[in-house]
């Protein structure tokens, strides 16, 4: 529960769990942030009939729809809205799987396992890693897709 309170405080909710002198939120996952995101574009393109324009449009749409996803998840956890949390994580998992964003798919699968086993309080490191991966995803979309 302490980790969950710490995560919520990172998003500005639930009071401060940061110790005096700290100015960043950390977790074992966040301390070792990834520098790149692996996208299985070739596999995903099969689901888009090899139409790169449609795939890029889907990437842009998903980036816009999920721009605040980690804040949304933290809010749902704070509100103890497990039903909606489960729905949002499951939906993100499916969308990212279809787009070939396998690392996000895998994190969402792990989050679903925690949610389904009433262990949401253990999700802080995964949400931190999800946030990092989503930032990499947003960067990829902004740098590698063109608006047609």
Alpha-carbon radius of gyration of the chain: 16
Percent of the chain scored above 70 by pLDDT? 75
Q: Average pLDDT in the 6-28 region?
A: 37
Q: Average pLDDT in the 117-134 region?
A: 95
- Split into its structural domains, the chain has a count of 1
pTM of the prediction? Answer: 0.75
pLDDT, one tens digit per residue, over 70-111 is 999 999 999 999 999 999 999 999 999 999 999 999 999 999
Q: Is the pLDDT of residue 61 over 60?
A: yes
CA separation for the pair 49, 55 (Å, rounded): 9
- Residue 87 sits in a domain of what CATH number? 1.20.120
pLDDT confidence tier of residue 144, bands split at 50, 70 and 90: confident
The gap from C-alpha 28 to its chain's centroid, in whole angstroms, comes to 16
Q: Is the pLDDT of residue 31 over 70?
A: no
Which residues constitute the domain of residue 55?
A: 2-144
pLDDT attached to residue 21: 31
Given a contact cutoff of 8 angstroms between Cβ atoms, the answer to whether 111 and 89 are in contact is: yes
The gap from C-alpha 20 to its chain's centroid, in whole angstroms, comes to 29
Q: Mean pLDDT in the chain?
A: 82
Percent of the chain scored above 90 by pLDDT? 70
Given a contact cutoff of 8 angstroms between Cβ atoms, the answer to whether 129 and 105 are in contact is: no
């Amino acid at each position: 529960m302490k980790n969950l309170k710490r995560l919520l405080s990172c998003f500005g909710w639930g009071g401060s769990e940061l110790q005096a002198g700290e100015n960043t939120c950390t977790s074992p996952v966040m301390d070792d942030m990834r520098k790149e995101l692996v996208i299985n574009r070739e596999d995903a393109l099969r689901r888009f009939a090899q139409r790169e324009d449609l795939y890029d449009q889907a990437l842009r749409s998903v980036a816009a729809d999920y721009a605040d996803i980690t804040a949304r998840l933290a809010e749902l956890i704070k509100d103890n809205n497990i039903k909606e949390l489960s729905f949002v994580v499951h939906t993100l998992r499916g969308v990212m799987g279809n787009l070939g964003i396998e690392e996000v798919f895998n994190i969402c699968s792990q989050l679903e396992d925690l949610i389904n086993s009433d262990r949401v309080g253990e999700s802080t490191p995964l949400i931190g890693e999800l946030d990092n991966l989503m930032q990499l995803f947003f960067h990829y979309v902004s740098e590698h897709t063109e608006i047609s």
